[in-house]
């Protein structure tokens, strides 16, 4: 299965949200820094 670049970024963001937003809001800047995007 081929996944587009946008699709890969979307999956990375969803995984990041699942890991880091358990008890607080997560900013886009934080996610981008962690994912290096």
Rounded distance between C-alpha atoms, residue 24 and residue 11, angstroms: 20
Tens of pLDDT, residues 1-37:
899 999 999 999 899 988 888 888 888 898 889 888 7
String of DSSP letters for 1-37: ----HHHHHHHHHHHHHHHH-SSS---HHHHHHHHT-
pTM here? 0.67
Q: How many domains does the chain have?
A: 1
Q: Are 2 and 30 in contact (CB under 8 A)?
A: no
* Residue 36: predicted pLDDT: 86
* Residue 37: predicted pLDDT: 78
* Residue 24: predicted pLDDT: 83
* Residue 5: predicted pLDDT: 94
Domain that holds residue 12: 5-35
* Residue 34: predicted pLDDT: 87
- Quick one: DSSP state of residue 36? T
């Amino acid at each position: 299965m081929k996944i587009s670049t946008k699709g890969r970024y979307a999956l990375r963001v969803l995984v990041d949200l699942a890991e880091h937003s358990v008890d607080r809001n997560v900013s886009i800047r934080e996610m981008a820094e962690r994912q290096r995007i």
